[in-house]
A and B are shown apart, each in its own frame.
Chain A
């Protein structure tokens, strides 16, 4: 799984961090998403999929591969 985030779309809600704190964080100054792990391990895939779906700004995209 390959995770990408679009910082310009992120609205800083932090839903992704609440779900997957090992994969996402937020910048201290403006709350914009920080991608900690662009290729999270298999056990995290389900929760990262959920994060991509519930992100209220559609800022998280998932691709196949490494």
Chain B
């Protein structure tokens, strides 16, 4: 690594840094890369809670969990590429507080880091069920360590219940089923990912899971966990039924990691609240899953938890730090892989949207669908048709831009 990667000096006050990025993952790293690409000459420090070099999360529920990839393969950059960034990585030392006017951050080990500009990139952390902490055999999935622990559990156990019918729960269920486990997926929606995909496509996804042998327990809330001698034995549903399990994954969403900002005076409300430039205060930005910024075209505060937002928002934040001053108005995008099917979503797919197949054919297992509300395109979905779906992204971008100029005209 570069000479700046100095992990010694705990407890001291580090020399002033130009930019301090808090959170050493997709969004934080992409911010540093975009700053350097843009010619930023100043000092850059990246503070990370985890001991690992920056790694990628999407493979954690897919290739790393299944064992197809060794964990190293999820590293975002090789060491030499990181070193060429000439940034100091301070890892394994979480931020515990910020003095916003002084632009300084305190860490768990007692460091104080000062900078002209601070970028908050601390992501989200998984929600848990009451009673979860004391029970063995109950997992969440957010970090590499989580993934390795869960993988060890999957190799040891036979009966898995996944609590949560969002994208993460559905992916974990698919991966575990592919590994041969007996899998039940439980959640309150009518079908997995119904709120993200709309009813018809979520129904298709439910069929895919059922065909592959996942038991779906949809439309019921989860009351809690049952256990014996400190180990989980099942999941109890609102209906009173108990689903037996020797392993449970709780995938009920995450909360933005903003606890460490509690006495900073910064606006925290379901994320660090920012203006259209992703600025929370003078010289303080947020990026990635933790950022709730004003999307000018949608005319609302928005927080996206997806991988491409992390990097696109990082490019926008770096440009603003370098003096760009343009609003961040992305086309939301995410993808998911389940049982070899790749689903991609551009824009948003409201439940009441009119859905039209515009390419391919659902019968053949490959199609692109366009979602419209009041005649306006709101989103595009690809089912095993990545290129063709991407080629229609522009329709969503155009609709967003049109709604922006329409609202500007009022």
Contacts and interface: CB of A to CB of B under 8 A. Distances in A.
Interface of A: 9, 11-15, 17-18, 26-28, 30-32, 46, 49-50, 53-54, 56-58, 61
Tell which of A26, A32, A54, A61 has the most Cβ of chain B within 10 Å.
A54
Interface residues of B, number: 30
A58 B77 contact: yes
A17 B394 CA distance: 13
A12 B311 contact: no
Interface stretch (B262-270, B296-304, B383-391): B383-391
Interface of B: 26, 30, 33-34, 37, 56, 58, 73, 75-77, 81, 307-308, 311-312, 314-315, 333, 335, 337, 342, 344, 384-388, 390, 393
B313 to A, nearest CB: 10
Contact of B335 (A12, A26, A53): A12
A48 B396 CA distance: 24
Contacts of A18: 390, 393
A31 B390 contact: yes
Contacts of B58: 11, 56-57
Contact of B30 (A28, A31, A54): A54
27 contacts: A11-B58, A11-B337, A12-B342, A12-B386, A12-B387, A13-B308, A14-B386, A14-B390, A14-B393, A18-B393, A26-B390, A28-B387, A28-B388, A30-B386, A31-B342, A31-B386, A31-B387, A31-B390, A32-B386, A46-B37, A50-B315, A53-B37, A54-B30, A54-B308, A54-B315, A56-B26, A56-B307
Contact of B312 (A26, A54, A61): A54
